[in-house]
């Protein structure tokens, strides 16, 4: 789940958007995992064809999911 709730920044650089940079970080954190992934975020910068090629399912974060202090 991609989330930057502190700044509420929905820009591509803010951490809520699935970009090449965030995908690289996810893949690095996954280590040897080679399966398909489901990623939740504000939006995806990838086309449907790229998501399929990368074996990704993107889902928009539900608006009722909020961080609690």
Give the residue extent of every domain in the chain: 1-69
DSSP letter for each residue of 39-67: EEESEESS-HHHHHHTTEEEEEPPTT---
What whole-number distance in Å separates Cα of residue 18 and Cα of residue 24?
10
Based on the number of CB atoms within 10 Å of its own CB, is 2 exposed (0-12), middle (13-18) or buried (19 or more)? buried
Question: What is the tens place of the pLDDT at every residue in 7-52?
Answer: 455 566 666 889 998 899 888 888 999 899 999 988 899 999 999 9
pLDDT at 62: 75
């Amino acid at each position: 789940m991609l989330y930057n709730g502190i700044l509420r920044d929905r820009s591509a650089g803010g951490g809520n958007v699935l970009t090449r940079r965030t995908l690289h970080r996810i893949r690095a954190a996954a280590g040897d995992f080679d399966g398909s992934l489901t990623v939740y975020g504000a939006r995806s910068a990838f086309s449907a064809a790229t998501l399929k090629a990368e074996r990704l399912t993107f889902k928009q974060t539900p608006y009722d999911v909020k961080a609690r202090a």
